[in-house]
Amino acid sequence: MKLSRMILIAAASVIALTGCQTDKSINVITTEVPERPAGQSDMVAFAAEPIDTVRVGFIGLGMRGPDAVKRFINIPGTKVVALCDIEQERVDSAQQILRRAGLPDAASYGGTEDAWRGLVERDDIDLVYIATDWKHHADMAEYAMQNGKHTAIEVPAAMTLDEIWRLIDTSEKTRRHCMMLENCVYDFFELNTLNMAQHGLFGEVLHTEGSYIHNLQEFWPYYWNNWRLDYNRDHRGDVYATHGLGPACQLLDIHRGDRMTRLVAMDTKAVNGPADYEAVTGTRPAQYLNGDHTMTMIQTANGKTIHIQHDVVNPRPYSRMYQLTGTKGFANKYPVEGYAFAAEQLTGNENIPDHENLSSHRCITPEQQAALVGQYTHPIIKEVGEVAKKVGGHGGMDYIMDYRLVYCLQNGLPLDMDVYDMAEWCSMAPLTALSLENGSAPVEIPDFTRGAWQKVKGYHHAGVAGEAGVGTLD
Ligand SMILES: NC(=O)c1ccc[n+]([C@@H]2O[C@H](COP(=O)([O-])OP(=O)(O)OC[C@H]3O[C@@H](n4cnc5c(N)ncnc54)[C@H](O)[C@@H]3O)[C@@H](O)[C@H]2O)c1
């Protein structure tokens, strides 16, 4: 963190941050919120001019990037114009995807660290799609926006507060979209549950949970130049929070009426992390900073809470947790999908078998759940769910993500995720590190919208008919 963003440890009252009734004073770590430069305005609900055919250039063709190329050639109204990877043979291999589909080769950029700049400077590209290692994301996206391109960046799009504010300022200044490719908000259970929440099925949603619990042992050897283990070796904190946090934030209308105000993080010691590192590199690292298991608790301005977790080294079943507690109901995705409701909540809903005998002490039956999901299938899933399953990408959610990105660009609509979603979700890496390095002290989460977090009321996807709680501009 640069000196200009040096932390300030200030005594601040709990009342000031949360509105809670207590007179105890606590130390809260705050970070600098740079003033919005003159001539810039916020990007909330920003819509760009419609683009008939979305011409795209891809940077980063490792394990993740080529699948995005495959998905794009299955989305009508797109053209793959250019491909780039520092490893030239990865570009050559991605060209095969186009050839197999009977499409012409794309322009090829590779072989050097800076070859991507040539792709970004082309004047026949609308969207730069970035799937490199984390350290390259922000510089590439910033330069792409400066060159007039919309940007879509793999998770996490930015790792430090300096990178986050740079991307916000560049997006606000250039009026180009800066979207993080958070695919998990498009998973089927998450989308359907969001739809139920927006229809009020859970009452007021008070608490949400998310996680990235995925034992990456079998993948470590395949990351380019060992970038991911190196990052975990050198950084404490939840360095990969966005899969868990994205869906949790959409349920709580974050920066659409509410905002995250502060967090507290705790972690375990690092045991399997350094062992994995040694197994891959043959060398025991002198120090390994990322705790094996990291937990973060977050509070919002409207008195809600979020719990997120990160663990990529222990032998646990895959989990993104995805859990919500509302005043009238509950939803849970991992390890077992289930919904529970207050006894009266589904009374009178003739679609749901045995609806008059609900008990909040247990989840509804599989038959009731199937009927409920049938009734509340998200309109986006109704529209593209079948194609998404066929094209694939984590069961279809990756296709829905790219499809929605292209749809909104083609129709000149605000994107489903804006630059402030990127900022809020990515800020977990630097802010949890601050908390951990200061004895789990509370850390203030900046208002990345700089005052615009109540401009839109309620989360919604633009251009989707049949969604409840459609947001309105003040
Ligand atoms: N959303 C998801 O579900 C999901 C899944 C996997 C990975 N990811 C994300 O995708 C990104 C890529 O991950 P990965 O697993 O493909 O890693 P990877 O190491 O397999 O691929 C990274 C690629 O970037 C290339 N690269 C590095 N520097 C470059 C430069 N200067 N110019 C051009 N190319 C360069 C490398 O050669 C490599 O091919 C990461 O941000 C990761 O977190 C997301």
Q: What is the pLDDT of residues 250-276, one digit of tens each?
A: 999 999 999 999 999 999 999 999 999
Provide the pLDDT confidence category of residue 236 given band limits of 50, 70 and 90.
Answer: very high
CA 315 to centroid of ligand 1, rounded, Å: 24
Provide the pLDDT confidence category of residue 38 given band limits of 50, 70 and 90.
Answer: very high
How high is the mean pLDDT of the chain?
A: 93
Taking CA atoms only, the protein residue closest to ligand 1 atom 32 is 86
> What's the average model confidence in pLDDT over 215-226?
98
DSSP string across 447-467: -TTSS-TTSB-S---TT-TT-
What whole-number distance in Å separates Cα of residue 218 and Cα of residue 368?
Answer: 38
Predicted local distance difference test score (pLDDT) of residue 26:
74
Assess whether pLDDT exceeds 60 at residue 218: yes
The CA-CA-CA angle for residues 89, 94, 96, to 5°, reads: 105
Provide the pLDDT confidence category of residue 335 given band limits of 50, 70 and 90.
Answer: very high
Assess whether pLDDT exceeds 50 at residue 14: no
| Pair 341, 369: CB distance under 8 Å | no
Predicted local distance difference test score (pLDDT) of residue 358:
87
359 or 177, greater pLDDT: 177
The CA-CA-CA angle for residues 464, 467, 471, to 5°, reads: 90
103 or 14, greater pLDDT: 103
> What's the average model confidence in pLDDT over 370-379?
97
Assess whether pLDDT exceeds 80 at residue 474: no
Assess whether pLDDT exceeds 70 at residue 19: no
pTM: 0.94
**What does the pLDDT look like over 120-156, one tens digit per residue?**
999 999 999 999 999 999 999 999 999 999 999 999 9
Structure-token pair, residue 6: 């040096």
Predicted local distance difference test score (pLDDT) of residue 206:
98
What whole-number distance in Å separates Cα of residue 309 and Cα of residue 323?
Answer: 12
**What does the pLDDT look like over 425-470, one tens digit per residue?**
999 999 999 999 999 999 999 999 999 999 999 999 999 987 875 5
> What's the average model confidence in pLDDT over 66-75?
97
Predicted local distance difference test score (pLDDT) of residue 467:
81
What whole-number distance in Å separates Cα of residue 144 and Cα of residue 149?
Answer: 5
Predicted local distance difference test score (pLDDT) of residue 16:
42
The phi and psi torsions of 128 (rounded to 5 degrees) equal: -105, 125
Predicted local distance difference test score (pLDDT) of residue 4:
38
> What's the average model confidence in pLDDT over 300-320?
98
> What's the average model confidence in pLDDT over 20-37?
80
| Pair 97, 69: CB distance under 8 Å | yes
CA 159 to centroid of ligand 1, rounded, Å: 14
Which of the listed residues 58, 59, 61, 63 should we mutate to test ligand 1's pocket, taking the one with most ligand atoms within 8 A of CB? 63
Predicted local distance difference test score (pLDDT) of residue 17:
43
Predicted local distance difference test score (pLDDT) of residue 359:
87
CA 361 to centroid of ligand 1, rounded, Å: 44
Predicted local distance difference test score (pLDDT) of residue 76:
95
Q: Which residues line ligand 1 (CB under 6 A)?
A: 59-65, 84-87, 90, 113, 116, 131-134, 136, 154-155, 183, 223-224, 394
Predicted local distance difference test score (pLDDT) of residue 472:
43
Structure-token pair, residue 450: 């700089």
247 SS3 class? helix
Q: Is the dihedral of CA 76, 81, 86, 90 positive or negative?
A: positive
Predicted local distance difference test score (pLDDT) of residue 5:
44
Which of the listed residues 133, 179, 422 should we mutate to test ligand 1's pocket, taking the one with most ligand atoms within 8 A of CB? 133
Predicted local distance difference test score (pLDDT) of residue 24:
59
**Which of ligand 1's atoms lies nearest the C-alpha of 84?**
33
CA 135 to centroid of ligand 1, rounded, Å: 10
Across the chain, how many H-helices and E-strands are there? Answer: 15, 16
**What does the pLDDT look like over 161-185, one tens digit per residue?**
999 999 999 999 999 999 999 999 9
Assess whether pLDDT exceeds 80 at residue 20: no
